Structure 1
């Protein structure tokens, strides 16, 4: 059975493309992502990815057989808009995802036009540079209710026994005004430490994630929680199973962590 993951997708779409300060800033994360595939027990047959960059009124599945790339960022160097990563979609898997959501009492929708956003192609271009594994992207549900996203993850759990890798792609720290600065950020460190402990406490993990706003430094690290909610889906898909801190590092002066479930 495939595990499920929450990964940080990096703070800029160009960090892995050219040498320079941006790439050096995200070097720890790049090394982790570069070794990610080799740490899997077996290659996945397909992937379902939940990115912090797509919200809809109900969970929405990309059903295209060949999604383009969606360059959903502005002001980066020209070459960041020339990235290629031609992973195929899987209409069959997308339909199965909708069936699982429906069986769990969760309404869903389909989208055949949207491309893979940079929460998908930035990290996965490092993990699977040959783009050889089909990918289905699933949106977040607007309102970003933690319990709902845990429920979405639970509905997707059967996919893991079918060789499908479930990945939540976001950031454990995502306050664009807070990046940088001199010295350690005690609030950011406190939230990341709380999150690492909460994730590894299996019996209380789901409730802790529902109550994440009560954690120290929570709203300083996540003023808008769109980049945290993919974690809830990944955790829900392995609810009750052991989890580990799979990555811990720093970027732009802030702590970032990634997790493996199951």
Structure 2
């Protein structure tokens, strides 16, 4: 068994099926793509599987993808036709799905196995740059549709043992997610204000206070302007909960995302190849 404790990540995953595109739209994600390549280099060969918590999968309660060959979920619109025929062909892991279910149940949280769930773009948009050979097993964990931040921090706490078992826990969302403001260019100040609060919360507060601030994230400057609905923020709670006592680091930061937006990704804990 892997004896290296892996860090956890919250990744701002970008828009739609961007890794499968080229041209101007794809260039919006150059910094994000570079950060994912650096993430892979930091991790080396330590992970044996990925547990992805995607902001694009919500259920009443929790669900875990348990198929051995997941299909695709084309959960975006307005893109060229060929992007509805792409495939990310990584294997699933029924064994890991059952392990996640057991850990959650041991902590009094029920989760059902879903053998039919495919990869949504919150998953494959990250995995394609990270593991282009499509050889890393991936299991997805849904959000609970109530989107309770405290509950999802507890979910992360239940999953801590996976970090010592070679499983990389990744929360996939966006630090800023207001689609209307993305289109009309009104998100510059709200995205900057919320990102500054998020960084201060993650970097400057002790673990208990940090978690408490995230539970009450709606009190942050521009909170609801940044997240009219918090589906893309809640994966952060799981990543934090699974490494609650560990320091946060900034792994991606961009002030001109789609022109004028601020977006960030974070790591909790140190990667295997970390050097003091």
Displacement, 1:240?
1.3
Establish whether residue 202 from structure 1 lines up as the match of residue 221 from structure 2. no
State how far apart, in whole Å, the 1-side matches of 2:165 and 2:45 are: 12
Mean CA deviation greater in 145-154 or 177-186: 177-186
Within 5 Å, give how 1:72-111 maps onto structure 2. Answer: 72-111=75-114
Within 5 Å, give how 1:93-132 maps onto structure 2. Answer: 93-132=96-135
1:50·1:140 contact (CA, 8 Å) conserved in 2? yes
Give ranges in structure 2 of 5+ residues lacking alignment: 270-276
TM-score w.r.t. length of structure 2: 0.91
Establish whether residue 232 from structure 1 lines up as the match of residue 232 from structure 2. no
Match of 1:144 among 125, 143, 147: 147
State how far apart, in whole Å, the 1-side matches of 2:242 and 2:120 are: 22
Establish whether residue 251 from structure 1 lines up as the match of residue 254 from structure 2. no
Displacement, 1:78?
1.9
Displacement, 1:42?
3.7
Cα 1:185/1:93, change in 2 over 3 Å: same
Q: Spell out structure 1 runs of 4+ moving beyond 6 A.
A: none
Kindly provide the CA deviation profile for residues 188-243 of structure 1, in whole angstroms up to 9, marking residues without a partner as x: 20100100111123332110110100000110010000000000000000011111
TM-score w.r.t. length of structure 1: 0.96
2:16·2:121 contact (CA, 8 Å) conserved in 1? no
1:20 corresponds to: 23
Cα 1:81/1:216, change in 2 over 3 Å: same
2:272 corresponds to: none
State how far apart, in whole Å, the 2-side matches of 1:41 and 1:211 are: 35
Q: CA RMSD in A?
A: 1.4
Displacement, 1:138?
0.3
Within 5 Å, give how 1:163-174 maps onto structure 2. Answer: 163-174=166-177
